[in-house]
Structure 1
Amino acid sequence: MSFNFDQLITITFTLFAVIDIVGSVPLLISLKDKMGGLRATQATLVSGFLMLAFLFVGQEFLKILGLDIRSFAVGGSIVIFLLGLEMVLGHEIFKADANAQSGTVVPVAFPIIAGSGTLTTIMSLKANFEETYILAGIFINLIIVYIVLKSLVWIKKVLGENGLTAVRKFFGVILLAIAVKIFGSNLSAFGK
């Protein structure tokens, strides 16, 4: 089997855009201040566990609900599309829970890093890509998440408010395109 670098890049960038760890920097900084610190290792490990669990047992979970992966991919592509739209337009579509408990696990690991968008994306990617590449993409993103969590103050200084907004909008457009591709490739299966 030859290594498909294009698959790895697509998966890695898709997950990077959905997790939107750079776009979450302002939120993460305010949470860090409120909580008096943030455990980067714990947040990374917990979010990684959630992503891997969804990658390996997500399909069985769907079977229990009577769904197939293509149906979930179409539904997931709509969620990804809305996340992208939210990032580009700057309007909140998915409302955050105002009563979220303070802590590294909730809300940092879940839902900020491994939220419904991330877990849905992993299942949607599984319909189109090989598991090995998705696994590699998850690990690459966990490394990025860990580095960002460790470097929050430095990143804010370097990018500034305008830089963070530009990065968020750029990845929003990428998400919109990826959502349309996943939607189209899985919707055609329903006609067969």
Structure 2
Amino acid sequence: MEYTFVSATILLLLITDPFGNIPIFVNALRHVAPERRMWVILREVLIAFLLLLSFMFVGDGFLRLMNLSELSLQIAGAVILFLIALRMIFPSTQPEAAALQGEPLIVPLAIPALAGPSALATVMLLVSQAPARRMEWVAALCVTMAVCAVVLVLSDRIQRLAGDRVMMAFERLMGLILVAISVEMLLRGIRLFVLQLARSS
């Protein structure tokens, strides 16, 4: 699957899942003063952005250091996306962890809510597939983080207006789209693997 700027942005939005993260942010910021919440959210989004951006530039070196091929990253990324999508469609019935006291820093908002393993693998995958278009992927990441910032700053209002049922339905719809993307990535990885076997034999 060859990504464009638009498809890469949509993929990153599905992975970072700003709407699905609304309950996490609302719960984590419950004990933060209302006038501080916006600045905490913007700080956490910036931290996540810088981490993902760094992986865009050092991802190739990391792959070489770990002796990993682009094909293995493609298949691993597809599996991770599929598992994330299943969690979006079939959310856990276990009770949420108790809210943190005080102001959260880095964990759990920046990492892993926004810049989790799946997001890190995705930005590395984009760059490994088309290194010459790195600045295009950076722009897609910038748009993604801007959308995340707007959605999460308005998270209290969105949750009150939409309600839990609408938020859950939206997240499951996004999960279905993500399942299709992950299956396409997996099939492409398998095709490349079969072609490599045919060439080597």
Query: One fold, TM greater than 0.5?
Result: yes
Which residue of 1 is the match for residue 174 of structure 2?
171
1:82 aligns to 2:62 (yes or no): no
Instruction: Pick the aligned partner of 1:21 from 18, 31, 45.
Output: 18
Asked whether the 8 Å contact 2:56–2:124 carries over to 1, the reply is yes
Answer with 38-47 or 49-58: which moved more.
Answer: 38-47
Asked whether the 8 Å contact 1:69–1:123 carries over to 2, the reply is no
RMSD over aligned Cα, in angstroms?
2.4
* Whole-angstrom CA distance in 1 between matches of 2:86 and 2:177: 10
> In the superposition, relative to structure 1, how do residues 100 and 110 fare at CA in structure 2: closer, same or farther (>3 Å)?
farther
* Whole-angstrom CA distance in 2 between matches of 1:60 and 1:118: 18
Show the 5 A alignment for 1:1-192.
7-36=4-33, 37-38=36-37, 39-91=40-92, 103-129=104-130, 130-191=133-194, 192=196
Cα deviation, residue 131, structure 1? 2.4
* Whole-angstrom CA distance in 1 between matches of 2:79 and 2:141: 21
Cα deviation, residue 128, structure 1? 4.2
Higher Cα Rg: structure 1 or 2?
2
Which residue of 1 is the match for residue 199 of structure 2?
none
Cα deviation, residue 99, structure 1? 11
* Whole-angstrom CA distance in 2 between matches of 1:34 and 1:70: 45
State the Cα deviation string for residues 92-135 of structure 1 (Å, max 9, x = none).
7xxx9989896131111111011111111222333445323321
Asked whether the 8 Å contact 1:55–1:122 carries over to 2, the reply is yes
State the Cα deviation string for residues 14-45 of structure 1 (Å, max 9, x = none).
11111111011111101010344531221121
- Which blocks of at least 5 consecutive residues in structure 1 are unaligned? 1-5
Which residue of 2 is the match for residue 3 of structure 1?
none
- Which blocks of at least 5 consecutive residues in structure 2 are unaligned? 197-201
TM-score, scaled relative to structure 1: 0.86
> In the superposition, relative to structure 1, how do residues 144 and 104 fare at CA in structure 2: closer, same or farther (>3 Å)?
farther
Answer with 6-15 or 106-115: which moved more.
Answer: 6-15
> In the superposition, relative to structure 1, how do residues 188 and 127 fare at CA in structure 2: closer, same or farther (>3 Å)?
farther
* Whole-angstrom CA distance in 2 between matches of 1:168 and 1:89: 10
Secondary structure of the equivalent of 1:146? helix
Asked whether the 8 Å contact 1:59–1:69 carries over to 2, the reply is no
State the AA in 2 paired with 1:49: L
Asked whether the 8 Å contact 1:126–1:134 carries over to 2, the reply is yes
State the AA in 1 paired with 2:55: F
State the AA in 2 paired with 1:145: C
Asked whether the 8 Å contact 2:89–2:171 carries over to 1, the reply is yes
* Whole-angstrom CA distance in 2 between matches of 1:81 and 1:98: 28
> In the superposition, relative to structure 1, how do residues 23 and 82 fare at CA in structure 2: closer, same or farther (>3 Å)?
same
State the AA in 2 paired with 1:119: L
